[in-house]
Structure 1
Amino acid sequence: MRAVKMILIGNAGSGKSTLARRLIAKQPAARLSLDEVAFLVGSERRRLEDSIADLMRFISVNQRWIIEGCYSDIIEPILAECEELIFLNPGVDVCIAHCRARPWEPEKFGSKEEQDENLDNLIEWVSAYETRSDEYGLHRHRALYESFHGNKRELNYPGEYERD
């Protein structure tokens, strides 16, 4: 089995977690959602240095990994460790539809009701993807993708994910 060191980037609802699970089912690897290293309690971001240190520990103990998230500021320092970068960019409308259809995520919310209470905020946040200039926006994801000189793909249609 060849080594897998892959990063999936994209907007919330773009299909990163779904694609990660599909890829791991075909070729086992450790998976890390950057949500796990980005936040303290609730929506308070950790210090960037602490998030990167945890990410580096994850990489050092796993030979095969898939990292997925929307945090360009956390991804950028470890991009050179990556063998393949996939940019999921299906468009805001698809991301919103995926967010509306998302099952309960117990690793993020105490209950389905709590998750549903956050849905309007999530959709507002996802809707701003193309205009945001922060580490979560299209501009930063595009710059990260363009700066990577290794094996990379941009997927614009969810059907493309099925071929992986």
Structure 2
Amino acid sequence: MNVIILGNAGAGKSTLARKLMAEQPAVRLSLDEVAFEGGTERRSLQDSLADVKGFIASHESWIIEGCYADIIELILPDCEELIFLNPGVEVCIAHCRVRPWEPEKFSSHHEQDENLENLIEWVRSYETRTDEYGLRRHRELYESFQGNKREFNTPSDYASV
């Protein structure tokens, strides 16, 4: 299994990745782990891509998930399936409000909570953004991919995957 899961923050990418991993052995890479240089500064695309390519080369079965269209576009030829989670902005916001503490991203639950309103505003702009993280760019990637692909528009659809 070599799967890429694409979608907005809060869409359920990590949750779906864990569900798929429970059904079939695979390792998971969140692109958040390779996209940033300590904090909010984005690493160069070349450096991020080198890390992702190294991950792919060192694992036979993997799931990569994220919202970084620039990275995903360059690794699409390596995947067997592209899954696009597109449940709508309000669902993503609701998920962000109840997500558990993510120690790989924040040093404390308090720090994560302090960032919540910024995250919600970012999620809310998904449909109008024109950058690598927006719906337009995600839709372009999904439509251009010629391999196996699925789009899910409600969490109940991908809860049964």
Indicate the TM-score class for this superposition, using the shorter chain for normalisation: over 0.9
- Pairing partner for 2:145 from 134, 144, 148: 148
- Pairing partner for 1:110 from 107, 112, 134: 107
Give the aligned partner of residue 38 of structure 1: 35
- For these two proteins, the number of residue pairs brought into alignment is 161
CA deviations on 1:105-151 (whole Å, 9 max, x unpaired) are: 00000000000000000000000000000000000000000010111
AA aligned to 1:13 is G
| Deviation >4 Å, runs of 4+ | none
Give the aligned partner of residue 127 of structure 1: 124
How much has 1:28 moved relative to structure 2?
Answer: 1.1
Give the aligned partner of residue 80 of structure 2: 83
- Pairing partner for 1:67 from 49, 64, 71: 64
Q: Distance in 1 between matches of 2:45 and 2:66?
A: 14
Pair 1:21 & 2:23 matched? no
When normalised by structure 1's length, the TM-score is 0.97
SS at match of 1:90: coil
RMSD after superposition = 0.4
Task: Give the unaligned 5+ runs of structure 1.
Answer: none
SS at match of 2:55: helix
When normalised by structure 2's length, the TM-score is 0.99
CA deviations on 1:52-108 (whole Å, 9 max, x unpaired) are: 000000000111000000000011111011100000000000000000001100000
How much has 1:8 moved relative to structure 2?
Answer: 0.1
Q: Distance in 1 between matches of 2:73 and 2:91?
A: 26
Identical amino acids, percent of aligned pairs:
71
CA deviations on 1:11-41 (whole Å, 9 max, x unpaired) are: 0000000000000011010100000000001
How much has 1:162 moved relative to structure 2?
Answer: 1.9
AA aligned to 1:125 is W
